[in-house]
Amino acid sequence: MSNKITIDANEAVARVAYRVNEVIAIYPITPSSGMGEFADAWSAQDLKNIWGTVPLVAEMQSEGGAAGAVHGALQTGSLTTTFTASQGLLLMIPNMFKIAGELTPTVFHVSARSIATHALSIFGDHSDIMAARSTGWSFLGARSVQEAHDFALIATAASLKSRLPFVHFFDGFRTSHEINKISELSEADMVAMIDDDLVYAHRSRALSPDHPVLRGTAQNPDVFFQAREAVNQYYDDCPQIVQDAMDKFAELSGRRYHLFDYYGPQDADRVIILMGSGAETVEETAKFLNHKGEKVGVITIHLFRPFSVKHLMAALPASVKSIAVLDRTKEPGATGEPLLGDVISALFEGKALGIAPFEQLPVVIGGRYGLSSKEFTPAMVKGVFDELKKDTPKNHFTIGINDDLTFTSLMYDALFSIADPRTTRCVFFGLGADGTVGANKNSIKIIGEETENGAQGYFVYDSKKSGSVTISHLRFGPGDIRAPYQIGIGEANFVACHQFNFLERLDVLKYAEENAVFLLNSIYGPDEVWKHLPEEVQEVIIARNLRFYVIDAYEVAQKTGMGGRVNTIMQTCFFAISGVLPRDEAIEQIKYSIKKTYGKRGEAVVEQNFAAVDHTLANLHQVKVPLVASSEIQRRESVSDKAPAFVRNVLGPMLAFEGDDVPVSALPHDGTFPTATSQYEKRNISLEIPVWDEDICIQCGKCAFVCPHAVIRMKVYDKSYLSDAPETFKAIEAKFKGVPGTKFTIQVAPEDCTGCGLCVEVCPAKNKSKVGLKAINMAPQPPLRESESRNWDYFLSIPDIERADIETNTVKNSQLLRPLFEFSGACAGCGETPYVKLLSQLFGDRTIVANATGCSSIYGGNLPTTPWAVDSVGRGPAWSNSLFEDNAEFGLGMRLTVDRQTEFANELVRKLADSIGSDLAEEILGADQSTDAGINLQRDRVKELKQRLASDSSRDVKQLLSLADFLVKKTIWIVGGDGWAYDIGYGGLDHVLASGRNINVLVLDTEVYSNTGGQASKATPRAAVAKFAANGKPLPKKDLGMIAMAYGYVYVAKVAMGANDAQTLKAFKEAEAFDGPSLIIAYSHCIAHGIDMRKGLEQQKLAVQSGVWPLYRYNPDFIALNRNPFNIDSRDPSIPVEDYAYNETRYRMLLQSDETRAEKLMDEARGDVSKRWELYKQMAAMDYNTAKKNEEE
Amino acid sequence: MTDLSTNYLGIKLKNPLVASASPLSKNIEMAKALEDAGIAAIVMYSLFEEQITHESNALDYFLTRGNESYAEALTYFPMFKDYNIGPEKYVRFIADIKASVNIPVIGSLNGVSSGGWIDYARKIEEAGADALELNIYYIPTAGDLTTNELEDAQVELVADIRSQVKIPLAVKLSPFYSALPNFAGRLVAAGANGLVLFNRFYQPDIDVQTLEVVPSLELSNSYDLRLPLRWVAILSDQLKADLALTSGVHNEEDVLKAMMAGAKVVEIASELILNGPARATEILTAMEAWMVEYEYQSITQMQGSMSHRSVAEPAAFERANYMKALQSFDRRINYPKALQGD
């Protein structure tokens, strides 16, 4: 009897891949990162493979690099693998052609994901698989967690035997992240499947100077073609080799697979053909329909390449009359999607060869479904089967969306359900921060591993990194749970809402079926809660006869020291009410699981969670439900009715988790969206907000400077604006030199604040009578929400200061500029966004941003709402994200346009000087645009030029009018994280810096790949632990600034605003002013450092004081002035490195797990700091005064 | 031959110089050096339950925070098989030190919960400690906590630990008890074999520039000896328990005073931190020379010779002393002329 485990597919695959390989090259990309993380952690723990040795896991700088390393390791005889998805797989394609051309066995495990087109998506479909299908690799597709586990082994065995490399793929998120109960393969199974003789054969083909060969020749027209055809037999043999491996596997495990698995009656008239998780949905739906008397079948394609016509023909029932081929991809302009083409071609060929089971070719239609993890439900499957009944079914259809533009979509009954009455279905709404998902993962493991039930968990997250909503879908019941789709409307027996305020904005109970249980975390007790529920909620509770329970989990959490984490408490309630296990046993299991999960972190944590469990049940109450709804509270609209129509009609439903209903016609065709939309999403995620104490304030502007979410603003204005100000609006006499206006206000946006507290931490003004208070202090938000919202609206109505009217060379003055980056979904207290916001304030009216994929592209460009904003006249940063790897080049391209178009516009101005007026033309051509005032004047000139030329329709004038805006200065900012700048995009960055062009690069250096969950980059410092550096990084951080300085003509600055805000400001202004390439490397504290984010700025200060992060500026303009271009802006290190480092979990956790190694690495890290400091000091001391030297000579 | 040996907590020590709980015992090499310099026993640095709890909670918090919020970053740190959170490291270190030196090693513990105190005390005993010093380091700040409640709880704690461990127990106290002799007596009745007088607290300071409370720990000086000296003198007559004097022991004279007041040992740290372990040798040599000069045969001979009841004027340790001191201090004040009598 095999061991049952309840895990997700990433782990299920990694458990096999790790054991049957010797070298593993990794690089993070969602949703495959988990596989690499497991491999790296196991390797760090010295876990051995089936041959008794520990695989070598190496992180590369990109997927292209990983593929290259894999290629090299394979060529020298290692069993090698990698894990990837989407753009990562695309970057591997060149090597994949080579690896296949050289008949090299390997398996790449791919969690299939959308490829970025009009937008990036991290979610699942087959567009990456299809893009790689011409590489000559075999493609084996799994449709479930169990199959992914099994196929990881089958693919490896078949690859060794066939000598063809395999892509083993499964659906990103839907399968990679679904937790399901599976049978675990034993080491004996793996040993039995992997033939050691084939391993020896692989090694014998390796490159070795002991028996040298040459591989990778260049060939010419005479033989290339023939040599290419020499591989045919391998492809001909491969399908049977895979089937043989599947058969052998069946003998070992009892689980039987085929290249094309047919389910359905032998007299089926309609068949759907597809691959991936959707096939399981089709199969389960077909079973249901056949039970009702229909004759439908499904063919699951497991082996997509080599595509075996013979095996497909053998699988199809002779009775089939119509076939729908479903593709989880889109290939615009093709005759159909790839699978459709393959099937049609196979049917014709099968017929021609006489191996088709039918006399007459069936009708074949193709359709698209499930792009970017769009739900694919039994209702949709039924829609397709129903379509196949028609005489002329729709071809090239879509299913699951409303295409009201080209009318491709099939209609279907969305409420059709095949939900098994024996299965329990539970939906939980939680906050990311409250631990709901973690608890549910735990619950499903308990159920899977401690009961006979099948169990499944799938988790949906929203697009924000702070205050994000999570929805957990849990199913359990007798037999395997084969339902790779979310729990549908009206299908849940149990709905839990872990945050009371969700009821105000989300339709939580739409999932509840009749008589379901509704569990609510509520500060109101069983007698009080009813009147606090929105009317819509009351109505559903009554209409569906819900059993309604409440618990004040916040109180239990507070009393038991759990803080805001209600996970264990709500989990206990779930077990107590659901009855899946007897209560006592459930509690015993929860405690066992707590011990298992938290035990290694110390007894205190375990005890705290135990206490939470023990205090829960006494606080759980059933609510007596009245007969009628009586609430005066209604659910709120997701956006204000004052928002623009696009925001209301498109972004609004997305915010309410109703985006699936948005029709095709409502969406931009080319991925172009309006900016400045985050202002309409009032998230109200913080229980506390800063409150300004105007009596204490010294008007330094630091609070606004560091605010990551641009919710603290300041204005200087004329006192006349106070005449109709709200009663609670605060103002004091302004203390700003040379700034027009006499009144000053600091205002907080109460509904947009995330409550991070950085403003309070940075405030230098203490209340002299009570030093615990400052000029800005946190206070509960709810009582202030209404009045401060009014104040905020009023504040916005006061005109912004004209940027040309002030000098922005001080921190306080800079903060009078309106942020054109506001209310992003970044983590509360984010260390990156204050820099981005500063950039937007200083240069936003003339900036185009090229943004590398990563945190900054996600909080900067992830729908529904986005933070890049506009000023009062509608100007603001224009923003785009191309890829992860090409951002520097992308930005350079923008610069090339600006340079070329500006030059062309200048040429035209010269040419048309007579029409323009020679004075104006000269002024335009000779304009000094080095200041905001200069730029403003030029804008006026260009406006005048346009007016003067408006009536002229000559070709040159038309050309000039279309380019005239380029006569006004444009600034290019290339923004990205360290993963981009130090690793994947480094080659491009280097080239762009070397180009000499006037571009500005801002590296938001968090020292890890933050967006994908904290994997090490070359920016990761020595001694820090990160994913992919689980033993602590053994080598020092790359000195990117030093490399850039080596060019001698690149402006370089290293900044940390928490240590020196004035230096940061200076560096930004100098970088933009420098007429050439500029690079700013900005210390960005990060949640991935494991710090109290409120202390992020303090950590920046300590980083600088310890010498870990020296501040400097390198200005090449000084060289011509005989001055040393390198200036160190921080003092000699004054505290030990560990006084900085050991405040951070990333360093501490190594000390807490392997003290000896931690001390060794810390010792080396100290050495890194002192060596670098000495070097910098020498550089800063160099004498550049060549004139003086010449004189002396 | 002068006999420097003494008995403390039922353990015979070669002399009364014990290294007190401090960073001195965080390093095996230092422990060996102390032994070589003549130190008779080492009290380990304190195991703080509160710190372990804090570290455990902090680790859990930071490893979990931000998890499962955003689909691309469901966690931020790699999985570790194990952490050294908990008393195990400390306990292992006791065993290591025991294996490295031949002098007695005394564990030191500061607990929070009664479960923690008992559990950790047992572990320290199992690791081979020769005795255990309970470091009752507690700042009562709650207005509704009465003296009785506080003292009852501490007495109960000592009794609980006594019932669970067999090695000798010493209790390290603060000087801030209203009726110290009574309380000390209760501790001894509850099973304490000795008392250590007194704990030296971290005394926070205020930085007037930054308006922040800053932690500080000043090393002691010989003047600090006075407070424990008085109480050793008072208590040594009353208690059937061994007293250790700590705070302010810097030279041979300080040690001699402590012995005369009735201490069985002194615990010394600041002097050794300042001047290195070899300073212990100097003190012992000087002590011995003094004893030779003044013809003392043994330490035991002088122990308690100047205790409260042994001196001719017990009042010298009492309030009269205070009055006299104030008067003498008064004479040293330089009053402005206007206030001086003609």
Chain A residues lying within 8 Å of B69, measured CB to CB = 431-433, 461, 465-466, 468, 470
The reply to whether residue B81 touches residue A45, judged by beta carbons under 8 angstroms, is yes
Active site residues of A: 30, 63, 113, 1011
* A698 in contact with chain B, both atoms CB, cutoff 8 A: no
* A465 in contact with chain B, both atoms CB, cutoff 8 A: yes
For A813-825, how does the pLDDT look when each residue is reduced to its tens digit (9 = 90+)?
A: 999 999 999 999 9
Q: Distance (Å, rounded) from C-alpha A1163 to C-alpha A560?
A: 40
The reply to whether residue A827 touches residue B66, judged by beta carbons under 8 angstroms, is yes
For B52-73, how does the pLDDT look when each residue is reduced to its tens digit (9 = 90+)?
A: 888 888 999 999 989 999 999 9
DSSP assignment of A501-552: THHHHS-GGGGEEEEEEEEEE-SS-TTTGGGGS-HHHHHHHHHTT-EEEEE-
Per-residue tokens: A882: 């191309």
Residues 71-130 in A contacting B (C-alpha not used; CB under 8 Å): 122-123
Task: Measure CA B299 to chain center.
Answer: 21
**Mean pLDDT for the stretch of residues A449-472:** 93
Is residue A856 over pLDDT 50?
yes
Chain A residues lying within 8 Å of B50, measured CB to CB = none
Q: Distance (Å, rounded) from C-alpha A417 to C-alpha A918?
A: 76
> Of all residues in chain A, what percent carry a pLDDT higher than 90?
94
Residues 6+ away with beta carbon under 8 Å from A807: A738, A813
> Of all residues in chain A, what percent carry a pLDDT higher than 70?
99
For position A563, what pLDDT does the model report? 81
For position B339, what pLDDT does the model report? 47
pLDDT bucket at B287, cuts 50 / 70 / 90: very high
The reply to whether residue B76 touches residue A468, judged by beta carbons under 8 angstroms, is no
* A564 in contact with chain B, both atoms CB, cutoff 8 A: no
Cα–Cα nearest to B47, from B143, B127, B124: B124
The reply to whether residue A1025 touches residue B77, judged by beta carbons under 8 angstroms, is yes
pLDDT bucket at B322, cuts 50 / 70 / 90: low
For position B84, what pLDDT does the model report? 83
Question: To probe the interface with B, which of A600, A824, A830, A1151 has the most B CB atoms within 10 Å?
Answer: A600
* B71 in contact with chain A, both atoms CB, cutoff 8 A: yes
Cα–Cα nearest to B273, from B34, B9, B28, B65: B34
For A793-845, how does the pLDDT look when each residue is reduced to its tens digit (9 = 90+)?
A: 999 999 999 998 999 999 999 999 999 999 999 999 999 999 999 999 999 99
Question: To probe the interface with B, which of A466, A1144, A1152 has the most B CB atoms within 10 Å?
Answer: A1152
Residues 6+ away with beta carbon under 8 Å from A656: A505, A506, A507, A638
Helix (H, G, I), strand (E, B) or coil at A325: strand
* B73 in contact with chain A, both atoms CB, cutoff 8 A: yes
Chain B residues lying within 8 Å of A464, measured CB to CB = 70
* B339 in contact with chain A, both atoms CB, cutoff 8 A: no
The reply to whether residue A173 touches residue B71, judged by beta carbons under 8 angstroms, is yes
The reply to whether residue A602 touches residue B57, judged by beta carbons under 8 angstroms, is yes
For B219-271, how does the pLDDT look when each residue is reduced to its tens digit (9 = 90+)?
A: 888 889 999 999 999 999 999 999 999 999 999 999 999 999 999 999 999 99
The reply to whether residue A1012 touches residue B211, judged by beta carbons under 8 angstroms, is no
* B214 in contact with chain A, both atoms CB, cutoff 8 A: no
For position A834, what pLDDT does the model report? 98
For position B203, what pLDDT does the model report? 79
* A37 in contact with chain B, both atoms CB, cutoff 8 A: yes
Residues 1025-1044 in A contacting B (C-alpha not used; CB under 8 Å): 1025-1030
List the single residue in B63, B68, B211 with the smallest CB-CB distance to A432. B68
Chain A residues lying within 8 Å of B56, measured CB to CB = 601-605
The three state secondary structure string of A389-431 is HCCCCCCCEEECCCCCCCCCECCCCCCCCCCCCCCEEEEEEEE
For position A327, what pLDDT does the model report? 98
Is residue A1098 over pLDDT 60?
yes
For position A511, what pLDDT does the model report? 97
Is residue B342 over pLDDT 50?
no
List Cα–Cα distances, B57 to A98, A281, A609, B109, B123, in angstroms: 51, 43, 11, 20, 21
Chain B residues lying within 8 Å of A1088, measured CB to CB = 66, 73, 76-77
Phi, psi torsion values for A818, nearest 5 degrees: -70, 130
Cα–Cα nearest to A35, from A115, A107, A130: A107
List Cα–Cα distances, A68 to A107, A112, A156, A823, in angstroms: 14, 21, 19, 41
**Mean pLDDT for the stretch of residues A903-927:** 98
The reply to whether residue A465 touches residue B73, judged by beta carbons under 8 angstroms, is yes
Is residue B338 over pLDDT 70?
no
For A529-559, how does the pLDDT look when each residue is reduced to its tens digit (9 = 90+)?
A: 999 999 999 999 999 999 999 999 999 999 9
For position A651, what pLDDT does the model report? 95
Q: Give A893: exposed, middle or buried? Use CB within 10 Å, 0-12, 13-18, 19+.
A: middle
Instruction: Give the count of Cβ contacts less than 8 A between chain A and B.
Output: 159
Is residue A1190 over pLDDT 60?
yes
Angle A101-A103-A109 from CA coordinates, rounded to 5°: 95
- The predicted complex's ipTM stands at 0.94
Q: Distance (Å, rounded) from C-alpha A727 to C-alpha A741?
A: 21
Q: Distance (Å, rounded) from C-alpha A317 to C-alpha A290?
A: 15
Instruction: Assess contact for A365 and A322: CB atoms under 8 A.
Output: yes
Residues 829-868 in A contacting B (C-alpha not used; CB under 8 Å): 858
pLDDT bucket at B324, cuts 50 / 70 / 90: low
**Mean pLDDT for the stretch of residues A247-253:** 98
For B156-206, how does the pLDDT look when each residue is reduced to its tens digit (9 = 90+)?
A: 999 999 999 999 999 999 998 999 999 999 999 999 999 999 988 777 889
Residues 469-508 in A contacting B (C-alpha not used; CB under 8 Å): 470
Phi, psi torsion values for A498, nearest 5 degrees: -85, -5
Per-residue tokens: A775: 């000029």
The reply to whether residue A435 touches residue B63, judged by beta carbons under 8 angstroms, is no
Q: Sheet containing A732-733: which strands, arranged edge to edge?
A: A712-717, A743-748, A732-733
* B55 in contact with chain A, both atoms CB, cutoff 8 A: yes
* B79 in contact with chain A, both atoms CB, cutoff 8 A: yes
The reply to whether residue B57 touches residue A464, judged by beta carbons under 8 angstroms, is no
Angle B86-B90-B94 from CA coordinates, rounded to 5°: 150
Shortest Cα distance from B49 to chain A (angstroms)? 10
Is residue B312 over pLDDT 80?
no
For position A1075, what pLDDT does the model report? 97
Chain B residues lying within 8 Å of A440, measured CB to CB = none
Q: How many other CB atoms are found less than 10 A from the CB of residue B223?
A: 9
Instruction: Assess contact for A399 and A371: CB atoms under 8 A.
Output: no
Q: Sheet containing A80-84: which strands, arranged edge to edge?
A: A56-59, A23-26, A80-84, A107-112, A166-171, A138-141, A303-305
Residues 6+ away with beta carbon under 8 Å from B339: none
For A613-642, how does the pLDDT look when each residue is reduced to its tens digit (9 = 90+)?
A: 999 999 999 999 999 999 999 998 889 888
The reply to whether residue A465 touches residue B69, judged by beta carbons under 8 angstroms, is yes
pLDDT bucket at A875, cuts 50 / 70 / 90: very high
Chain B residues lying within 8 Å of A563, measured CB to CB = 61
For helices A932-949 and A918-925, give the axis angle rounded to 10 degrees.
Answer: 140
Per-residue tokens: A345: 């071609």
**Mean pLDDT for the stretch of residues A314-320:** 97
For position B340, what pLDDT does the model report? 44
Residues 294-333 in A contacting B (C-alpha not used; CB under 8 Å): none
For A103-149, how does the pLDDT look when each residue is reduced to its tens digit (9 = 90+)?
A: 999 999 999 999 999 999 999 999 999 999 999 999 999 999 999 99
For position A1012, what pLDDT does the model report? 96
List the single residue in A603, A771, A1087 with the smallest CB-CB distance to B76. A1087
pLDDT bucket at A461, cuts 50 / 70 / 90: very high
The reply to whether residue B77 touches residue A1146, judged by beta carbons under 8 angstroms, is yes
Chain A residues lying within 8 Å of B71, measured CB to CB = 30-31, 122-123, 173, 177, 461
Question: To probe the interface with A, which of B77, B117, B123, B209 has the most A CB atoms within 10 Å?
Answer: B77
List the single residue in B59, B68, B72 with the smallest CB-CB distance to A30. B72
For A927-985, how does the pLDDT look when each residue is reduced to its tens digit (9 = 90+)?
A: 999 999 999 999 999 999 999 999 999 999 999 999 999 999 999 999 999 999 999 99
Q: Tell me the torsion sign for CA atoms A1069, A1072, A1078, A1081.
A: positive
Phi, psi torsion values for A354, nearest 5 degrees: 75, 20
Residues 6+ away with beta carbon under 8 Å from A724: none
For B109-120, how does the pLDDT look when each residue is reduced to its tens digit (9 = 90+)?
A: 987 777 888 889
* B80 in contact with chain A, both atoms CB, cutoff 8 A: yes
